[in-house]
């Protein structure tokens, strides 16, 4: 998987990606990462890449020429790049989108700054706009890191245990069940006895019920859009009965 990031702050991207799972993936070349700074493509003597918006308004807007030149250079790195612009106006990034991106092979991720980027950049170079949530940040670098981290986890060989990605929250459309480790008991409570029983079927069912419970409490919208199977329906009914008792 190849990531090329268009950013005014390349060190922010590179330094953040050198740690943990992504750092190991870079070392083993499971993923490739490069950055392109629009300032290096500016014809201005001071490498200026922004100007005041036409029509008035506060702040500055990133100019089309240096941004497009940087994007096009990044696109040359493969035959089929997919270019996304990190923007609060884009479609929400979720696990399904991460799965989709992981199959593309080459993502060019454009990070804006200031008040945004010239619309002509979007119209000529961007395949889709992508948002990590309904709030405003100072730039697209942090969202781009989130996208790349999430996508990287899906790439074969990046995680030490392939089951890790398959059992993550959202991997089956539900929030993940609670998890515990040693010691079995302590000042802050005890591990549920069922997890110590050694009965794999009982444990599986308990974990599914806890996933449904947590999803119902924290992200009920996920259940509204989910077709529940017979076992899940029974567990939801059991949860409701327990809440009403």
Rg of the chain's alpha carbons, rounded to an integer? Answer: 23
Distance separating alpha carbons of residues 196 and 220, to the nearest angstrom: 30
Domain boundaries, the chain: 2-160, 185-244
Looking at residue 165, its pLDDT comes to: 57
- CATH number 3.40.1280.10 given to 2-160: yes
pLDDT tens-place string over residues 137-183: 999 999 999 999 999 999 999 997 666 655 555 668 899 999 999 99
The closest of 8, 5, 36 to 113, measured between CA atoms, is: 8
Looking at residue 162, its pLDDT comes to: 61
Looking at residue 169, its pLDDT comes to: 57
Q: 152 is written with which tokens? A: 């990287």
Looking at residue 167, its pLDDT comes to: 55
Looking at residue 3, its pLDDT comes to: 98
Residue ranges in the chain whose pLDDT is less than 50: none
Q: 28 is written with which tokens? A: 């083993």
Which superfamily does CATH assign the domain made up of 185-244 to?
tRNA(m1g37)methyltransferase, domain 2 (1.10.1270.20)
Looking at residue 171, its pLDDT comes to: 64
In degrees, to the nearest 5, what angle opens at C-alpha 189 toward C-alphas 183 and 193? 70
Looking at residue 146, its pLDDT comes to: 98
pTM: 0.86
Looking at residue 245, its pLDDT comes to: 86
- Point out the residues that are catalytic: 88, 115, 153, 168
Handedness of CA 214, 231, 98, 219 (dihedral sign): negative
């Amino acid at each position: 998987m190849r990531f090329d990031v268009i950013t005014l702050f390349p060190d922010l991207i590179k330094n953040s990606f050198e740690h943990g799972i992504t750092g190991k993936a870079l070392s083993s070349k499971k993923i490739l990462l490069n950055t392109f700074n629009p300032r290096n493509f500016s014809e201005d003597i001071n490498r200026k890449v922004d100007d005041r918006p036409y029509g008035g308004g506060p702040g500055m807007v990133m100019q089309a020429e240096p941004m497009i030149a940087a994007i096009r250079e990044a696109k040359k790195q493969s035959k089929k790049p997919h270019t996304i612009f990190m923007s609060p106006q884009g479609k929400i990034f979720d696990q399904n989108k991460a799965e989709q991106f992981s199959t593309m092979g080459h993502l060019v991720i454009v990070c804006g700054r200031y008040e945004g980027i010239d619309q002509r950049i979007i119209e000529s170079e961007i395949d889709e706009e992508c948002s990590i949530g309904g709030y405003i940040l100072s730039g697209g670098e942090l969202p781009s890191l989130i996208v790349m981290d999430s996508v990287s986890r899906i790439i074969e060989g990046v995680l030490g245990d392939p089951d890790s990605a398959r059992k993550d929250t959202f991997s089956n459309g539900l929030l993940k069940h609670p998890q515990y480790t040693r010691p079995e008991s302590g000042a802050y409570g005890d591990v549920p006895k069922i997890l110590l029983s050694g009965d794999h079927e009982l444990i599986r069912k308990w974990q599914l019920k806890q996933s449904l419970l947590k999803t119902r409490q924290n992200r009920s919208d996920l259940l509204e859009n989910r077709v529940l199977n017979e076992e899940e329906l029974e567990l939801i009914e059991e949860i409701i009965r327990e809440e009403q008792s």
